[in-house]
Amino acid sequence: MSELSASDLTILRMLQDNAREKLENIACETGLSVATVQRRIRSLRDKEVIQRETTVIQPEAVGYTMTFLVLVEMERERIDQVDAFRRRAQANPQVQQCYYITGEADFALIILSKDIEDFERLTHRLFFEDANIKRFRTSVVMKRSKFSSEVPLAILAGAGDASC
Amino acid sequence: MSELSASDLTILRMLQDNAREKLENIACETGLSVATVQRRIRSLRDKEVIQRETTVIQPEAVGYTMTFLVLVEMERERIDQVDAFRRRAQANPQVQQCYYITGEADFALIILSKDIEDFERLTHRLFFEDANIKRFRTSVVMKRSKFSSEVPLAILAGAGDASC
DNA sequence: GATGAAACCGTTGACGC
DNA sequence: GCGTCAACGGTTTCATC
């Protein structure tokens, strides 16, 4: 993986803030030409530094009013069993995030649900029907902040001039 | 909040998958005209069903090689103290997500770090210097999946014809 | 092989229906 | 509400260094 330049970081920071940021603004901020900015972005996409460009939707607007954090403990921590559970969890569209972790629990899941019944059905499918799940602990999320994943990027003194 | 139509959900699903999806493709899929699709998207943005359009960056590419899940317990659960901690946590760019939860812990945080020292410095600033933090439990994330937050959207039989 | 100019395609906003 | 059109921004190609 090749190193990223200061202007690459500026490009990433601006695009993370707004995927539709005008190339001209980025060019001005970095001191590069529009064509160069475009080539850098293409390169960042090709290198998969930029993984995707997505639209963040308010879950409540489409009926998902509840969020849960579920800590899952497995009976046996065999690699194939762990992988099998992760695949099942990931495959479920209501499982927003899936972390395989050290400590008391083996997995932490962030789960969206329309209501309590919806969540209960999901736990049955995901946990009760899996003999390898020892137990799971559910926390209701009362407030979530910073739902979308933003990577901290250093704000470097750009070479751009005052015309920005 | 007004109800969303089937074509609105299709628009959201396609934009969530790719923020740069061509309006023509969405028009074809939904059976709407390009102009109508554009007006719907504008309306969804205005209603804040669409919260933002962002670029997902691979954290490892910019030096953030470690992810942690931290469960935080507070000494006193007074609303002003809870809010104060949430604001401090959110303000830190390495805190990717912040959930105020029910159960054994009061907060669950997803934190990015460059290395262990970086994480330790962060815990000092965030937890040890706050008299209202009773304790915190750290889990190292060995593998994260589904890092970006995708809301499940029903795939409805569209009115679009076979020319898509 | 990096750069800038230019042609081409998609998006946006204004207008008229 | 709907499509049309002109202006703008993004993308690709090509010539040049």
Q: Which nucleotide, over all strands, has the C1' atom closest to the CA of A24?
A: D9
Q: Does pLDDT of A87 surpass 50?
A: yes
pLDDT reported for residue B106? 97
For B57-99, the DSSP string reads E-GGGGT--EEEEEEEEES---HHHHHHHHHHHHHSTTEEEEE
What value does the mean pLDDT of chain B take? Answer: 90
Nearest CB to B4 within list A50, A62, A97: A62
Q: Which nucleotide does the CA of A35 lie closest to, via C1'?
A: C4
Name the class of domain B59-140. Answer: alpha beta
Mean pLDDT for the stretch of residues A113-117: 96
Enumerate the nucleotides of strand D whose atoms come under 7 Å of any protein CB.
Answer: 1-5, 9-13
pLDDT digits 0-9 by tens, B91-107: 998 999 999 999 999 99
**The pTM is what?**
0.88
Chain A positions in Cβ-Cβ contact with residue B13 (cut-off 8 Å)? none
A99 pLDDT exceeds 60? yes
**CB B145 to CB A97 under 8 A?**
yes
Locate the domains of chain A by residue range.
6-54, 59-140
Dihedral Cα B107, B153, A57, B26, nearest 10 deg: 160
> For the domain with range A6-54, which CATH number is right: 1.10.10.10, 1.10.530.10, 3.40.50.300, 3.30.2130.30?
1.10.10.10
CA dihedral defined by A92, A48, B62, A156, rounded to 10 degrees? -120
For residue A162, the model assigns a pLDDT of 46
